[in-house]
Amino acid sequence: MNPEYRLYHPKWYRRRIPIFWWLKKLAYLKFVLRELTSLAVVYAVVLLLLQLVALSRGEAAYARFLDLLGRPGFLAIHTLVLLGLVFHTVTWLNLAPRALVLRLRGKKVPDRFILAGHYLGWLAVTLLIVWGLVGR
């Protein structure tokens, strides 16, 4: 059910919030930009799927797809997408110490170790992908 709907309180006073509330403070803007990184994520997975389709349709179709990727318009969009994806990763990993509380011999593992572990994991995955895709 709609969380805004209150049975028996049809005239409950609720202050209206302006639609551009998130432009008033830098912290709000950062929050909204962080939330909007989901658009970069969905764009990336859809593009990846399209690239797989092109790959499966043979060498000529794949070459046409690569041709499209090299156009300035797409390169500009993909630069923005990459920035969004990196912003997603950094904001996501920075929240890890709050999502994951580890205890070792009854003592809480300090935040910086949790952070370091996640960033090392990112580095390892990145190196794995570089190794898998470069120099084939």
**Out of 6, 29, 30, 55, the residue judged to bind another protein by CB under 8 A:** 55
Using alpha carbons, select from 82, 90, 92 the residue that is nearest to residue 40: 82
Site map (CB under 8 A) of another protein, residues 101-120, x = contact: --------------------
Closest approach, Cβ 8 to another protein, in A, equals 18
In contact, 85 and 47? CB cutoff 8 Å: no
Neighbours of 88 (CB within 10 A): 20
Please report whether residue 10 would count as binding another protein according to CB under 8 A: no
What distance in Å separates the CA atoms of residue 82 and residue 24, rounded to the nearest whole number?
Answer: 26
In contact, 12 and 6? CB cutoff 8 Å: yes
| Tokens coding 126 | 């990145």
**Residues of the shown chain interacting with another protein in the complex, contacts defined by CB under 8 A:** 1-4, 17, 19, 22, 32, 35-36, 38-39, 41-42, 44-49, 51-53, 55-56, 58-59, 62-63, 66, 69-70, 74-75, 78-79, 81-82, 85-86, 88-89, 92-93, 99, 121-122, 125-126, 129-130, 132-136
